[in-house]
Amino acid sequence: MLNRYCGFMNTPVYLEVVKEEAPKADAAEGEEAPAIEVKEPERINPNAALWLKAPKDCTEDEYKQFYRDVFHTYEDPLFYVHLNVDYPFNLKGILYFPKLTNDFGTREGEIKLFSGQVFVADNIKEVIPEFLMLLKGVIDCPDLPLNVSRSFLQNDGYVKKLSAYITRKVADKLTGLFNTEREKYEGYWEDIHPFVKYGCMRDNKFFEQVKDTLLYKTTGGTHVTLSEYLSKNEGKLDGKKVIYTSDPTRQSASIAQYEAEGVDVVVMDALIDLNFVSFMEYSAGVEGLSFARVDADAATFKKEVSEDEKQQHQADEKVLADLFTAATGNDDLTVQLTALKDTSMPGMLVQDEQGRRFSEMGKIYGQDFKLPERYTLVLNADNAVVKSLIRQEEGEQRDLLAAQLYDLARMSTRPLEKEEITAFLSRSNKLLEMLCK
């Protein structure tokens, strides 16, 4: 049986095919027997390993065919990086960017390590940076000391130089695409952004090289860099803030409020984004930078009011706080009464950004404790329903309306749970019956 990696050797492997026809039984005596047909040997392994060729001598079709042959897939890679250096060390290889998914954390690519075209192993983390393990490809290091322990490889200066070079070449490919073929780069972004973000958090040098190429997709379908976003939305938000959504469908009502103010909302719905936004706040080098989900606060939607109106709002706020605390059974609920620009919106349920992140991280990493979720219900003093609640006398209808308004505010940011949706439907029916009386 042929070795599965024989196709990467310079030495060709041939299969000699011989076809012979037996003489006919009734051939006349002296008649010449049929000739034996001998075919030329056919080469059954590919030509010399593709990574040994200079990049200028390789065609696009060769790169794609090599990818399909080696990794047994019908899917083409997004793009690739051809490594070819002879000094100060000898390194050849090709790294491919496959299509990734948001759930990339459970996946691992396949990078085959060779030494002088002799297969050694898959995914040796001491040679290949960990975050690059999401890629696929082959790397050939003829001078690599493979006969020593992995602990030696971890501390070997030569190996560290190899790893740094591989990282730099991947970063160069990304920055090159961004600078010269941005439209194509934007087309790749949905597939490669989990890998790029993960690399930034794992390798500071990689982050420094690619940080200006990091893109943010807006709900409008455009792609912007951090500097482009801050410049475009300057003066519309309080400080250097990036507004994002983790669920464009569920949070569409809040998104619409920002878009009405001319503020772009970026989509951060990948699993890695929860950690990435915190990483960017501390590492981007932009003083005062913060990320806030669309339901983190209502400051952008508030309008200026007079001092007399503020005092009246404070008095009414106490009445509404008691009402909503009793109607919802949530003693930790904070109620604020303020005037919002959109009078049709009765209220918004907002949650502190940092507290929500901490709570969500605990759930993701399986922590055995649950932090209390504290929300602030921002009621619109200029909304007809809210004004009616302030004026109404105590009674069942007032309590039902308060609970209904609270649930509507919750539904604009997250789905109701099983018991909650049952209560919401039952309450809706009661309110309809009251209207029909």
Residue-by-residue DSSP string for 240-279: SEEEEES-TTTTHHHHHHHHHTT---EE--STTHHHHHHH
Give the model confidence (pLDDT) of 377-429 as tens digits. Answer: 999 999 999 999 998 888 899 999 999 999 999 888 778 888 889 999 999 99
Q: How far apart are CA 348 and CA 299, in angstroms?
A: 11
Whether 254 and 294 have beta carbons less than 8 Å apart is answered as: yes
Tell me how far apart the 2 most distant CA atoms of the chain are, in Å: 127
- 8 A C-beta contact, residue 296 and residue 352: yes
What are the residue ranges of helices labelled H in 72-180?
150-155, 157-180
Angle at 433 between CA 428 and CA 437, to 5 degrees: 150
The structure's pTM equals 0.81
CB-count burial class (<10 Å; 0-12, 13-18, 19+) for 309: middle
Q: For 141-196, what is each residue's pLDDT tens digit?
A: 887 766 655 565 665 677 788 888 889 999 999 999 999 999 999 999 998 998 89
* Cα–Cα dist 237/235, whole Å: 6
With 90 as the cut, is the pLDDT of residue 17 above it?
A: no
The Cα–Cα gap between 226 and 310 comes to: 36
Cα gap 244→216, rounded to integer Å? 9
